[in-house]
Structure 1
């Protein structure tokens, strides 16, 4: 459970954790926007290690305990009009961080599981480094096409609110957002979420640690529509989405599955944009079945 670090050649310092036996097949969990490696529920990690996998989690650049990028974050107008700063990093750079971690750990091929922005990163790895990906599971993610997968207006309004300035404000904001984008059919564990949000604030350096989020948004915007690139993915692929997702509309998941040859699409009734306790076992089972069988069709 302790943090380890490695330096991407010419890139950021990445924080990671590894669970499970070193001899097991690697399964990499890639977190979403502004989230860190602790955003993956421990029950999910335990489910994968119990199924015989070596689970690798890490903090994306500009999140958790990984490096903050020394570049100005885009302002709200640039974010609104999707105009990242020239030279801003993109999802390809974040995919390269993932491959760098695999190299560091001596993992030739791995099963990739990404949620939201992490799904976009996993898709990019699978498209650009097919020899490194055994299977791909993309959870409530999208293709980058502007006509699919867009947040609800009510979600955008909440995202535009003033950032939290204290741990208490951060916890309240997280619980409020979770009530909005979470899973009505799979309610969250409020006490667990409160503890996680407080831990995230401390682990990421408080208010200063949240300044990487605009740069991560910029990375998504700088990557544009990736539909054509997704057609190059050859790994057996599973795309999972909830039918009540207000952060990434389910049209994003459907478009992802259409873009990837042979991908299987599973839409879970009552699931929103959150890994709630009631849905974790199903996600583990679906992902494990894909990893063990290889072909989702």
Structure 2
């Protein structure tokens, strides 16, 4: 079953109902979505390529957003309860925890606090915790706060507007996402999203030093996939930590932005599969 046809399912856990979708068979890969994201913000080509690579791909709506019930929050420490509870409720083991943008912060908290059943982490266009060397561009805040983001906004937010190839990839990705016309998840309320944008645009978006310390000590292999011009979470902040994060591998696509896995869905899936296949917690600990 392709991603655009995967039915929405629900599971009751710890007092709320979480909406999720699953496709493929194999090692579970649980994906945490981005700021203002829901079940329908993932490129189906990326999800299908992951399933074809041997993963059971699971996407979900955060508590209180989309089709999930409960209390909505954009605090990554509280949001991490959703993937933690899904792992337990679905009986998942040896989970690859993945996260895009804000979801990457959530995935890092899972690695730091709830890694019992986690084998690997895959981070997509996100930021490391703690101090940063390069802040987000002002263009992100003005674009992300608009009530409705049109195609040009999506090019700005997730691709590289100066690259014709990236623009063409953006068009293809948007068309694939729009191909699902039924059983869609409601958009995140713009008022909720705006209220969670920082007023200090130069400050670190994830000033979580305990998580940074946990990443410095973890044995969980971590892959970060980025574009070379991410206006939200510049990849330079990861390279500034070279030599201090013992399990982190960095992959950076040229002429790409905040959604590298949407610009290069099949290649990103293949990189993730190779990373999971060739690394392990045991190897990282030695």
Q: Under TM normalisation by the shorter chain, which class is it?
A: 0.7 to 0.9
1:57 counterpart (43, 56, 59):
59
Q: Residues 214 and 281 of structure 1: is their aligned pair in 2 closer, same or farther, counting only changes over 3 Å?
A: same
The equivalences for 1:94-243 within 5 A come to 94-148=79-133, 150-161=135-146, 163=147, 170=148, 173-181=149-157, 182-183=159-160, 184=163, 185-187=165-167, 188-190=169-171, 193=174, 196=177, 203-205=184-186, 209-214=189-194, 217=197, 224-225=208-209, 226-243=211-228
Separation of aligned partners in 2, 1:105 and 1:259: 34
Describe the superposition over 1:249-295 as per-residue Cα deviations: whole angstroms up to 9, x where unpaired.
Answer: 12233356655322111221111012465411221111101111125
Task: Give the CA deviation at 1:143.
Answer: 2.2
Separation of aligned partners in 2, 1:257 and 1:221: 20
**Aligned 8 A contact 2:137 2:231 in 1:** yes
Describe the superposition over 1:62-103 as per-residue Cα deviations: whole angstroms up to 9, x where unpaired.
Answer: 432122627xxxxxxxxxxxxxxxxx7621221121011011
Query: Normalising by structure 1, what TM-score?
Result: 0.77
Structure 2: runs of 5+ lacking an equivalent:
1-5, 199-203
Residue in 2 aligned with 1:6?
11
Q: Residues 132 and 274 of structure 1: is their aligned pair in 2 closer, same or farther, counting only changes over 3 Å?
A: same
Moved more, 228-237 or 31-40: 228-237
**Aligned 8 A contact 1:92 1:124 in 2:** yes
SS in 2 for 1:285: helix
Query: Normalising by structure 2, what TM-score?
Result: 0.79
Q: Residues 122 and 287 of structure 1: is their aligned pair in 2 closer, same or farther, counting only changes over 3 Å?
A: same
SS in 2 for 1:240: strand
2:51 matches 1:66: no
SS in 2 for 1:284: helix
Cα RMSD, aligned residues only: 3.1
Separation of aligned partners in 2, 1:265 and 1:93: 27
Task: Give the CA deviation at 1:18.
Answer: 1.0
Separation of aligned partners in 1, 2:67 and 2:244: 34
